[in-house]
Amino acid sequence: MAFPILSVIIFTPIITGLIILMIPGERKTEVRMTALAASFIALALSTWVYFSYDTAAGGYQFVEKYNWFPPLGISYHMGVDGMSTPLMVLTGVVMFTGVLISWGIDDRPREFFAFLFILASGVFGVFASLDLFGLIFFYEIAVFPMYLLIAIWGWKVTREYAAMKLTLYLFIGSVIALIGILAMYFSSGLSTFNMLELETAGFSPEFQKFWFPFVFFGFAVLGGIFPFHNWSPDGHVAAPTAVSMFHAGVLMKLGAFAALRVGIMLLPEGARFHLPWIIVLTLINVVYGAFIAMVQTDFKYVIGFSSVSHMGLVLMGFATLNGDGMLGAGVQMFSHGIMTALFFAVVGVIYDRAHTREIPHLGGFSRLMPLVAAAFIVGGMVSMGMPGFSGFVAEFPIFMGLWRFQPWIAIVASISIVITASYIIRVIGRVFFGKMPEEFVGHFGDVTVLDKVALVLLSAILIVVGVYPTVMVTMVESGVENILRLLGGA
Amino acid sequence: MSISSEMIRAILPEICLAVLALLVLAYDLVWRGKEKRNLGWLTAGGLALVFIITLIFARPGDVSTQLWGGMVRHDWLGYSFTLLFIFGAAITSLFAMEMELLGQKGEFYLLLLVSTIGMSLMASSADLVMLFLAIETTSIPLYILAGFFKQDDKSTEAGYKYFLFGALTSAVMLYGFSLIYGFTGTTNIYAITEILVSSDVSLILAIGTLVLILVGFGFKISVVPFHFWAPDVYEGAPTPVAGFLSTASKAAGFSVLMRVLLTVYAEPDVIPYWVIIVAALSVFSMTLGNALALAQKNIKRLLAYSSIAHAGYALIGVAALSELGIASVVFYLLAYVITNLAAFGAVAAFWRISGSDQISDYAALSRRSPKLALFMLVTFLSLAGMPPLGGFVAKFFVFAAAVKADLIWLAIIGVLNAIVGLYYYLVVLKVVYLFRSEEEDQPVPLTRPYTLALTVLIIGIILLGTLFGPWADWSTRAASALFLGG
């Protein structure tokens, strides 16, 4: 058997987390260095997986399978395809940059990094899981540390409320999905949780129509689907910077990804039946989210609602059920993950200095921190879907897919691009240019080197994917083919 | 009657426990004053030895046998539960030994061991008379233990209340037993079924006896509506005793509940009725237990209501009535016993330093003792059913059993309750990790018995949640004893 690289990626964070917990609390630098080293390993290995994935062959690669509990057909079964490989890299990047950005956390950094890394393991596990039990197992591991991370290190004003709201929403979603999964397990008669086998179970159309909403919405809650998106902006805002990055950058993809993998891929008939009306919900996500973002005055809420809007595009791309839409959604998951991590990193460094996030009270930051301004502008371009940036590579196919599905939805959805441009440009103009308020002048300087490394890395990825889309598109296409095969075969 | 080695092996754990009890009694006379604390090590070490002896020598064969004139049944169910009780008692004695008024008194350990003997017999008795005696052997020492702090009004109240409720429900249960005897002319659990089927005992009478018996069992496992004693008794009783009550004693109740329901009432006509009764008990216990736990300010009362809710979750598996269902109950109890012992252990460790059980006094515990806070984190998340901890796998199995038995509505009520549960467990963790307090620079040291016991339990919780295969196999084996041997 080959080197179990996926297991190494999945367990590196959690084992590091446990090691970190054993370091005495006062040795904060050691804690941080350990965290950085582990996140670098995870990043390097996931990048290696990305570039050694054979896109021509497609399918699930780096597969590992061990028995976990044979009587119920539970196995530890890992493997990545063209959809999940970019997400593994995304998680690696966000984890690495998240550690860099959180270097300054001084209150119990040991526990902070430990919980963050337990979460990261859960995320890796969900993306790589080919077993439904494993998927739900890692999914919950990814959810509960959020509560502690937000409640302990979050923004003092709303953290308790936001943390509890987020946890309960996500937990409700996951247990409802769990019931759906159990129903699938027992009615398939295969007594296996193996997704590859369940794909061929041939569930009856009535079964699929009844259970699809359970599974899809159960997971899509974490994807921020309207009307269950409410937890997300509150959670983003209350969370500390690295957690917001993780939350918006990676966790929301977890929801969309699981909804795709369990909902659409295992219950294709149900998907075909329900998605035409679900696409309307995602349309509301896209347009309404953008409008709400436009009227926010809190910098972080702007980004939070923009995430709701952009995640709507992802779910919408899936809901088209055609190749273009899926391809776009796949790239959008990666692109939005990096972009929103970048945004939250920028908001974080500004808030750390200005101690306010009210856009009217900010201004002139480009002079003090030119690199931060440049990075934010790159992110803004991605957000608006400008050619040359990864956002274009993602959104263009989504709109093509939408047009093929139903032209009027594409037209309505395209409104969001204009609105996005308006709020992004407003933020850039107000926060980075304009005049700096008196009380800030001379009080703080540029960001640290670590912050710069993080921001440069994030911006560079966005530009590379934008300029050279093949690097990602061929990968995602190979994953989409597999999904289309399932949809066609139904 | 000649005594075969099989007969000895069937009651080997009880014999060893009795020997250990005598040993404790003897050393209680030898050791004086502070030395008596060592009785805790003696009991825990002795129980560990008994555990190993039982594990190796008392292992039943694949075929269940009935021994000692049909009084005792030597099967995997009894064997598994006996091991669980011995484990629980060992952990409890470790928790208790640091408490001056509890752990330095020989009676405590003696009563604990006697009660364990009773539980072990409960799990393996095959006769109604034996069963009743075993239940009383378990309960009477527990009444005394609950009221062990004689100077403390609350503890006295707890002991008295527990005794009154226990005596009442025992009487009702005994009445049920006597009716069964009247109808069938036998007290052997395994003989009753056949006579019930062949004779013309009406369905109503059969269900009537069932209800009477369920009163007694319901008290032992503290399900709604027989739960009223639990919060008051847990609150007043010494914390290690409360932990023992809520874990081993409850598991013992479940073992007899499962055995009696699946053997005495295995008649196809009766089954649908008790499935409904059990499902109703389960729904009420989960819902009421969780709802009332929300309002608690005292951590022991919170754990009491949470334990009522957990009895409800476990009953889902009984209502599912399949081998998977019973196996899921056994696994659930295993996970629950280990987790809840850890919860009460953490509470005891904190109480020893602070003298308080108020949740608000747990503020800043993560600064005062990061280790204890971490133990509580793992424990409470396991109670809430989060992976990679035992509670998650246990809930997963129980819900899976319900879905398999087409009790989807019950599974949905269960998962909704799990969400309510998550809320109040998180509230406790919030206090521990988030809130500040004026005493936060005063550490909460953990002494060696606590560290040892809690570490064992935490490792157990994580093992049950990750490498759950062997444990689940074991549970399946215990469950099959009720199906194949019936």
DSSP three-state, residue A213: helix
Cα B455 to chain center, whole Å? 20
Q: Please state the pTM of the whole predicted model.
A: 0.92
User: What are the chain A neighbours of B411 within 8 Å (beta carbons)?
Assistant: 179, 182
Q: Do A182 and B399 touch (CB under 8 A)?
A: yes
Q: pLDDT grade, residue B1 (50/70/90)?
A: low
Number of domains in chain B: 1
Give per-residue pLDDT as tens, A356-390.
888 888 888 888 888 888 999 999 999 888 888 98
How many angstroms away from the CA of B4 is the closest CA of chain A? 36
Residue B462 belongs to some domain of the structure: yes
Q: Do A72 and B422 touch (CB under 8 A)?
A: no
Q: Which amino acid does the sequence have at A63?
A: V
**Token representation of residue A158:** 């709303």
How many angstroms away from the CA of A152 is the closest CA of chain B? 5
B429 interface with A at CB cutoff 8 Å:
yes
Which of residues 308 through 337 in chain B touch A, CB cutoff 8 A?
A: none
User: What are the chain B neighbours of A137 within 8 Å (beta carbons)?
Assistant: 387-388, 392
B275 interface with A at CB cutoff 8 Å:
no
User: What are the chain B neighbours of A160 within 8 Å (beta carbons)?
Assistant: 430, 434
- Residue A105: the pLDDT is 81
- Percent of chain A at pLDDT above 90? 30
Nearest CA in chain B to A151: B434
CB nearest to A25's CB, from B370, B418, B476: B370
DSSP H or E segment with residue A62: strand A61-69
Q: Do A140 and B370 touch (CB under 8 A)?
A: no
- Residue B486: the pLDDT is 42
B366 interface with A at CB cutoff 8 Å:
yes
Over range B257-284, report the average pLDDT: 90
Cβ atoms B356, B425 nearer than 8 A? no
CB nearest to B415's CB, from A152, A175, A186: A175
ipTM score: 0.88
Over range A89-112, report the average pLDDT: 88
- Residue B456: the pLDDT is 95
Residue B363 belongs to some domain of the structure: yes
Nearest CA in chain A to B428: A148
- Percent of chain B at pLDDT above 90? 64
> Which range (A17-26, A212-221, B308-317, B393-402) has the least confidence?
A17-26
Give per-residue pLDDT as tens, A323-335.
889 999 999 999 9
B392 interface with A at CB cutoff 8 Å:
yes
Q: pLDDT grade, residue A71 (50/70/90)?
A: confident
Residue A353 has pLDDT above 50, yes or no: yes
Neighbours of B85 (CB within 10 A): 31
Cβ atoms A49, A88 nearer than 8 A? yes
> Which range (B36-40, B46-50, B60-64) has the least confidence?
B60-64
User: What are the chain B neighbours of A25 within 8 Å (beta carbons)?
Assistant: 370
Peptide bond into B225 cis (omega under 30): yes
Q: Domain of A464?
A: 5-489
User: What are the chain B neighbours of A207 within 8 Å (beta carbons)?
Assistant: none
How many angstroms away from the CA of A141 is the closest CA of chain B? 6
Residue B312 belongs to some domain of the structure: yes
Nearest CA in chain A to B417: A172
Give per-residue pLDDT as tens, B432-486.
988 888 888 888 888 899 999 999 999 999 999 989 888 999 999 888 888 854 4
Q: What is the mean pLDDT of chain B?
A: 91
Q: Do B387 and A141 touch (CB under 8 A)?
A: yes
Q: Do B386 and A141 touch (CB under 8 A)?
A: yes
DSSP three-state, residue A127: helix
How many angstroms away from the CA of B81 is the closest CA of chain A? 22
Nearest CA in chain B to A107: B367
Residue B234 belongs to some domain of the structure: no
How many angstroms away from the CA of A294 is the closest CA of chain B? 34
**Token representation of residue A488:** 């066609």
- Residue B485: the pLDDT is 47
- Reported as half-sphere exposure (CB side, CA atoms, 13 A), residue A304 has a value of 25
User: What are the chain B neighbours of A108 within 8 Å (beta carbons)?
Assistant: 366-367
- Residue written as tokens 């790589």? A128
Q: Do A182 and B430 touch (CB under 8 A)?
A: no
Task: State the maximum Cα–Cα separation within chain A, in Å, rounded to a whole number.
Answer: 70
How many angstroms away from the CA of A106 is the closest CA of chain B? 14
Report how many Cβ contacts below 8 Å link chain A to chain B.
Answer: 84
Cβ atoms B391, B433 nearer than 8 A? no
B409 interface with A at CB cutoff 8 Å:
no
B426 interface with A at CB cutoff 8 Å:
yes
Q: Do B434 and A160 touch (CB under 8 A)?
A: yes
Residue B93 has pLDDT above 80, yes or no: yes
Give per-residue pLDDT as tens, A45-55.
999 999 998 88
B418 interface with A at CB cutoff 8 Å:
yes
Q: Do A151 and B430 touch (CB under 8 A)?
A: yes
Q: Do B422 and A167 touch (CB under 8 A)?
A: yes
User: What are the chain A neighbours of B404 within 8 Å (beta carbons)?
Assistant: 182, 186
Nearest CA in chain A to B390: A137
Q: pLDDT grade, residue A239 (50/70/90)?
A: confident
Q: Which amino acid does the sequence have at A85?
A: T
> Which range (A383-392, B114-123, B300-309) has the least confidence?
A383-392
- Residue A414: the pLDDT is 87
- Residue A37: the pLDDT is 92
Q: What is the mean pLDDT of chain A?
A: 88
How many angstroms away from the CA of B223 is the closest CA of chain A? 24
Residue A214 has pLDDT above 80, yes or no: yes
Nearest CA in chain A to B470: A69
Q: Do A140 and B387 touch (CB under 8 A)?
A: yes
Of A385, A371, A373, A264, nearest to A320 (Cα)?
A: A264
CB nearest to A179's CB, from B366, B387, B412: B412
Give per-residue pLDDT as tens, A163-174.
888 888 888 898
Report how far residue B254's alpha carbon sits from residue B261's, in angstroms, rounded to the nearest whole number.
10
CB nearest to A167's CB, from B377, B426, B476: B426
Of B269, B127, B272, nearest to B201 (Cα)?
A: B269
Phi, psi (rounded to 5 degrees) for B199: -80, 175
Cβ atoms A263, A481 nearer than 8 A? no
Contacts of residue A55, Cβ cutoff 8 Å, sequence gap at least 6:
A82, A474, A475, A477, A478
Nearest CA in chain A to B411: A179
Nearest CA in chain B to A143: B386
Nearest CA in chain B to A142: B387
Q: Domain of B478?
A: 283-486
> Which range (A43-52, A229-238, B90-99, B315-324) has the least confidence?
A229-238
Report how far residue B334's alpha carbon sits from residue A112's, in angstroms, rounded to the nearest whole number.
31
- Residue B484: the pLDDT is 59
Of A334, A259, A376, nearest to A92 (Cα)?
A: A334
User: What are the chain A neighbours of B472 within 8 Å (beta carbons)?
Assistant: 69, 71-72
- Percent of chain B at pLDDT above 70? 99
Number of domains in chain A: 1
Q: Do B419 and A168 touch (CB under 8 A)?
A: yes
Q: pLDDT grade, residue A233 (50/70/90)?
A: confident
Residue B407 belongs to some domain of the structure: yes
Report how far residue A118's alpha carbon sits from residue A110's, in angstroms, rounded to the nearest whole number.
12
Mutation site, A14, A67, A74, A148, interface B, largest B CB count within 10 A: A148
Instruction: Provide the β-strand partners of residue B358.
Output: B298
Over range B248-271, report the average pLDDT: 90
> What is the DSSP code (8-state) at residue B467?
S
